[in-house]
Structure 1
Amino acid sequence: MNDFDLHYLHYARSEELRKEAENERQARRILKAAKETRRGGSHVRHSGVADRVVRALGLRHGDETRGEDAGSGSSPRKERASVS
């Protein structure tokens, strides 16, 4: 193995490790936001992402709080669909 091969292998592995670390950080942020949403936190930075995570995991807490806030029981999606 020459110096070029060694350098390339080191570079490729470094890039893989950076991507893995970034993905782990993003997953932690998403889970933290989802937990804050489930707790009813009003200061969630990634509320859209947290809602998607809650729905993907099949958790009902996010849907129940949204239904209580609406009062009429209709979701914004249903209202948008009826308008268009």
Structure 2
Amino acid sequence: MSASSGENDDFLYELKIEVEAEVTLAESSHPEEEVGLPVTEWLFDPTDVEREEIGLRGLLDAVEVLEGEHGPDDHRPGNA
């Protein structure tokens, strides 16, 4: 059984909101500031934060493609 188009649209919209919130949180963590501290004082590994942000941006791009918000040319570097 497949979901209706309206249910899919609602799901994608809610997923997009959640992913955008996670990207904002990752951006606000400022991992570059942690690098200047001794490793024993790190609350998180800055590299892990960077990887997570990259993954979240990829997921956000995928959701936007499914929503039809971007054409194929919009994903070239410099077209953010």
Give the TM-score range, shorter chain: 0.3 to 0.5
Give TM-score, length-normalised by structure 1. 0.38
Higher relative contact order (CA 8 A, sep 6+): 2
Q: Of Structure 1 and Structure 2, which has the larger fraction of its residues in helix?
A: 1
Which structure is larger by alpha-carbon Rg, 1 or 2? 1
